[in-house]
Amino acid sequence: SDDGNDLGIEEKTSSPQPALPQKISDRGIKLYLLAVGAVVVVAILVQHLLQHESPPQKEDGRQIDIFLQKMEKLKTQFPNQRAVLWKRSRIHLLRHLQTAQPTEPVSLILTAGARAEQTLQCLAQGLASTFSSALNASVLHIDGASKANQDSDQVKLDIDRKLQVAFEGDKPVAIIHRFEELPPGSTLIFYRYCDHENAAYKKTFLIFTVLLGEEEDISAMSPLSAVEEMVDDHLQRKFLTDGHPISFDRMDRDKYGGLWSRISHLILPVTAEKRMEHEGCSSLYK
């Protein structure tokens, strides 16, 4: 019987069977806990990211609301303008505002005949103010006509300095009034500021105004492609002169082509508004 007891004890103590499920059970618990832990960590990270991303989305929504409200008000102040001007400028600017990290600046050219000179200036101011209000920012004004007879290199340096200070400060919007009057070589500075993905500052908006002095009006029947051609021809006549040797700092046909491709994304014709032509831009702020 002792042998039987010994054998029974031996069977109970030496049998590995009860320990195996315990090991499997322990491993399963560990895997379960690891899975739960991973889910908790992921949930915390997602919540953390959402908390950080939510405010910019709300801010963007507020900016867009302000922009759209201001655009509607501006539209009522310029009742004679073509519908295409409002439609195209709205889409063009809204796309930039809705992009959290723009890959390039946004720019457009406004153009008019001699009878709409004042309206051209006022509408540029209105669009700039509308865009900058959405960003709670200010606008830089550069007057090409006042620099027409100045040294080209000096004007180029002056524009560069003003744009750099503005874009690094609280003025992400710039109007270059009477672009066609700038000394030709000085306009090459806009390679730096309008060079698509290579532009120095991308969260910016540049408006160029071009007065077609030889035209009284731009016909309301002229398609945008014809208006673009008119502006291109006018700028070539103003900026390109024959008889000068080609040099790095002087405007030539190739450099003009490069400049034109950078600034001619959207060209919109402006029609005279009697009120603006008589009262000036002060009526914008009434």
- Three-state SS string over 170-233 comes to CCCEEEEECHHHCCHHHHHHHHHHHCHHHCCCCCCEEEEEEEECCCCCCCCCCCHHHHHHHHHH
DSSP 245: P
- Three-state SS string over 110-122 comes to EEEEHHHHHHHHH
Specify the pTM: 0.77
Closest C-alpha to 146, from 182, 112, 120, 180:
182
Q: Where are the domains of the chain?
A: 2-50, 78-285
- Give bridge partners of residue 108 from the DSSP assignment: 207
- Other Cβ atoms less than 10 A from the Cβ of 206: the count is 26
Closest C-alpha to 191, from 140, 127, 249:
249
- The per-residue pLDDT string of the chain (286 residues; one tens digit each, 9 = 90 and over) reads 444 444 444 444 444 555 555 555 667 777 778 877 777 777 777 676 665 444 344 456 888 999 999 999 999 999 999 999 999 999 999 999 998 888 899 999 999 999 999 999 999 999 999 999 999 999 999 999 999 999 999 999 999 999 999 999 999 999 999 999 999 999 999 999 998 888 889 999 999 999 998 889 999 999 999 999 999 999 999 999 765 555 556 899 999 999 999 999 999 999 999 999 999 998 787 6
Measured distance CA(98)–CA(228) in Å, rounded: 27
pLDDT at 257: 95
CB–CB of 94/66 below 8 Å? no
pLDDT at 241: 77
pLDDT at 41: 74
Measured distance CA(74)–CA(45) in Å, rounded: 44
pLDDT at 34: 81
DSSP 1: -
Which CATH code fits 78-285?
3.40.50.12190
Measured in degrees and rounded to the nearest 5, phi and psi for residue 269 equal -85, 140
Measured distance CA(201)–CA(176) in Å, rounded: 16
